[in-house]
């Protein structure tokens, strides 16, 4: 019996549609990261991108638990003195809600070349409309299982 290793050319990819309305941010992000990596498939191989595409809609309606809405902050640094930008969660979710989910998922995938390839399969939209209907994404229920 030999150990199976997935071949990148033979990986079949599906499209999933996730509705973030009322979902808890961290729990949503872990499930999305798992699908992007391909860990839900029996052919998962750690060094090969075996994951599927994920389209997230209604990103503006994601929720956080506890006091994170008041305390959570996002930091950005330009590299110059005085170039640190600190953005509170409330302003980030109001102005750029898709960045909140992208940031949470990015922290849950590998920080290397494979992770950069995996994150390109994540498509996040603030509202209910998305341009990926031609791919016929399959609705994925997350949370209340």
CA distances from 61 to 13, 17, 22, 52 (A): 27, 15, 6, 24
CATH number of 13-64+96-139: 3.90.1180.10
What does the pLDDT read at residue 92?
Answer: 97
Q: Report the alpha-carbon distance of residue 125 to residue 122 in Å, rounded.
A: 10
- Tell me the C-alpha distance between 94 and 115, whole Å: 27
The confidence score (pLDDT) of residue 4 equals: 86
The backbone torsions φ and ψ at residue 88, rounded to the nearest 5 degrees and listed phi first, read -65, 155
Which residues 6+ apart lie within 8 Å of 127 measured at CB? 57, 58, 60
Q: What is the pLDDT along the chain (145 residues), one digit of tens a residue?
A: 888 899 988 999 999 999 999 999 999 999 999 999 999 999 999 999 999 999 999 999 999 999 999 999 999 999 999 999 999 999 999 999 999 999 999 999 999 999 999 999 999 999 999 999 999 999 998 865 4
pLDDT at 1: 81
Supply the pTM of this predicted model.
0.92
3-state helix, strand, coil in the chain (%, to 5): 35, 20, 45
Q: What is the pLDDT of residue 142?
A: 84
């Amino acid at each position: 019996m030999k150990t199976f290793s997935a071949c990148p050319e033979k990986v079949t990819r599906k499209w999933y549609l996730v509705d973030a309305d009322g979902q808890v941010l961290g729990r949503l992000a872990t499930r999305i990261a798992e699908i992007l990596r391909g860990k839900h498939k029996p052919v998962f191989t750690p060094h090969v991108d075996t994951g599927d595409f994920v389209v997230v809609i209604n990103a503006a309606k994601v929720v956080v638990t506890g006091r994170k809405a008041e305390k959570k902050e996002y930091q950005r640094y330009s590299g110059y003195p005085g170039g640190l930008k600190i953005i509170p969660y409330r302003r980030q979710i109001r102005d750029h809600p898709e960045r909140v989910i992208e940031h949470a998922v990015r922290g849950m995938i590998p920080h290397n070349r494979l992770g950069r390839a995996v994150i390109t399969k994540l498509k996040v939209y603030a509202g209910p409309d998305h341009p990926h209907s031609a791919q016929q994404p399959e609705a994925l229920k997350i949370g209340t299982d």
